[in-house]
Chains A and B, each alone.
Chain A
Amino acid sequence: DAGITQSPRHKVTETGTPVTLRCHQTENHRYMYWYRQDPGHGLRLIHYSYGVKDTDKGEVSDGYSVSRSKTEDFLLTLESATSSQTSVYFCAISGGVTYEQYFGPGTRLTVT
């Protein structure tokens, strides 16, 4: 299994509070991604990174920001959480050569 961890694994927070999710990899892969998984939608890309300090938006980036100060860490921040951001969040990594991505175990976030 690819060395990917996510923290926290579960979080309950209140509307309007900031939340930061962390993805940590030990594979030294260049590309990292944040997805959200919702019933009936599959997985949708939030943001991705193609190197340290290099990030870009995905399909559903509104209300989210990301940062990558080290190769191994990719942070997802909800500046002011809303109930519509209740979801399961998955981090993924890729070496980029053969396009497959490897996923972390996920973070279940509930915004009340």
Chain B
Amino acid sequence: EIEFTQSPATLSLSPGERATLSCRASQSIGRYLGWYQQKPGQAPRLLIYDASNRATGTPARFSGSGSGTDFTLTISSLEPEDFAVYYCQQRSNWGPFGQGTKLEIK
């Protein structure tokens, strides 16, 4: 079973700064990776699919890149509403998800 390692576990930044989140797969998954944002008390929200495609409604400041085993989610300039937990997930019928990166206000 494929496993994901997300880093860092916690990222402390200020609004306006650039955020770079990493997701590494234990084996190659091509470009079949999605990124989700989850705020406290809410369901996850799909941001990026197939590594680099923005889902409907995802702001342009969010971008994804990577293929194979190494993937990156970049937020070009943080807005206050971007502070949340971010999960990566392999596209399949059963996940799996990474352990998440918590993006917190510095």
A and B interact? no
Q: A-side interface residues toward B, CB under 8 Å?
A: none
Q: B-side interface residues toward A, CB under 8 Å?
A: none
